[in-house]
């Protein structure tokens, strides 16, 4: 980018006048920005006597290309907020330049941490390079979140409360934006009737971020009802698959069905000896029947 303009030369002759002719040619080099210019001035008098001067200009491309855009700087981000790589272009004073991109990731101290290295290399036609490197520190500083938040559960002594307790302890879960969330808790192995157990649940990710929730499991010793008419009611068929009948109802009543974890899965208005259809998974269920002021609980097996 510093090639001089050719000189304008004149000549004199002792026997008359002289004129000067100029010519120039270029010989290619190893790359587009490197070549040789040969300039020739020829002074000729009126009798064709000549004096020649030759200038050789060796042109080199030793300047590096430059990036056109603002260059991305080093940053620290959360694992779910990693930016997309920038698209950079470059220019060169002696020709064109191209830009290549490379990225590598190094593991951090935990699954949610890492170091991303992004490298842009601008190269001109004579292999001069300009390199820009961006370092992205990725950190997991966000607590996991509950998908199913721990909640209180009350069962009674007529249910399989130990199985309900075991299911309840492992029924809560969560997710993390950077890694896997693990559920832990400190709780007694068994429960009795009656019982009241408060459990602290911890949801922890791979980088030690945690979310804590507390819930209580209660086993009631009584049904808290005014009257029980256990012997008056019959569920049939039992076991069953898709339907049952209830015999012994004196009036229209209400039926609530609970799974082994104590979760209500069905509520239905019922009448004496009237078919009750449902679609439940196989397993053991507790059926709470309320008729007027009377309540009882029956076991139901779905095949």
Report the length, in residues, of the chain.
303
> Residue 225 pLDDT more than 60?
no
pLDDT for position 226: 37
136-174 confidence digits (pLDDT tens) = 999 998 999 999 999 999 888 878 889 999 999 999 999
**What is the value of pTM for the model shown?**
0.60
- Cα→Cα distances 106→84, 109, 131, 223, Å: 17, 10, 20, 60
pLDDT for position 297: 84
Strands (E), 141-293: 145-148, 153-156, 173-175, 182-186, 195-204, 210-220, 234-236, 243-247, 253-258, 264-270, 276-277, 283-291
Averaged confidence pLDDT in the chain? 91
pLDDT for position 294: 76
Three-class SS of residue 230?
helix
Task: Kindly report whether the peptide bond that precedes residue 283 is cis, defined as omega within 30 degrees of 0.
Answer: no
pLDDT for position 230: 58
User: How is the chain split among helix, strand and coil, in percent rounded to 5?
Assistant: 5, 55, 45
35-79 confidence digits (pLDDT tens) = 999 999 999 999 999 999 999 999 999 999 999 999 999 999 998
């Amino acid at each position: 980018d510093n090639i001089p303009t050719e000189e304008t030369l004149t000549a004199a002759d002792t026997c008359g006048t002289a004129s000067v002719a100029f010519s120039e040619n270029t010989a290619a080099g190893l790359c587009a920005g490197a070549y040789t210019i040969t300039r020739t001035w020829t002074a000729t008098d009126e009798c064709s006597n000549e004096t020649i001067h030759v200038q050789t200009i060796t042109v080199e491309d030793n300047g590096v290309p430059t990036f056109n855009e603002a260059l991305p700087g080093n940053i620290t981000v959360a694992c779910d907020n990693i930016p997309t790589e920038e698209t950079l272009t470059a220019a060169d004073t002696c020709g064109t330049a191209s830009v290549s991109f490379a990225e590598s990731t190094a593991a951090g101290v935990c699954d949610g941490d890492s170091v991303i290295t992004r490298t842009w290399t601008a190269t001109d036609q004579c292999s001069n390079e300009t390199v820009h490197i961006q370092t992205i520190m990725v950190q997991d500083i966000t607590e996991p979140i509950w998908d199913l938040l721990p909640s209180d559960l009350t069962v009674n002594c007529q249910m399989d409360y130990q199985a309900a307790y075991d299911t309840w302890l492992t029924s809560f879960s969560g997710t993390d934006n950077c890694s896997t969330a693990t559920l832990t808790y400190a709780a007694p192995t068994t429960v009795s009737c009656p019982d009241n157990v408060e459990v602290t649940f911890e949801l922890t990710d791979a980088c030690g971020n945690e979310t804590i929730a507390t819930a209580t499991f209660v086993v009631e010793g009584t049904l808290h009802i005014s009257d029980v008419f256990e012997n008056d009611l019959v569920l049939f068929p039992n076991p069953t698959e898709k339907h049952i009948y209830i015999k012994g109802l004196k009036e229209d009543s209400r039926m609530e069905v609970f799974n082994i974890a104590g979760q209500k899965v069905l509520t239905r208005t019922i009448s004496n000896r009237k078919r009750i259809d449902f679609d439940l998974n196989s397993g053991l269920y507790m059926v709470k029947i309320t008729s007027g002021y009377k309540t009882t609980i029956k076991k139901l097996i779905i095949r």
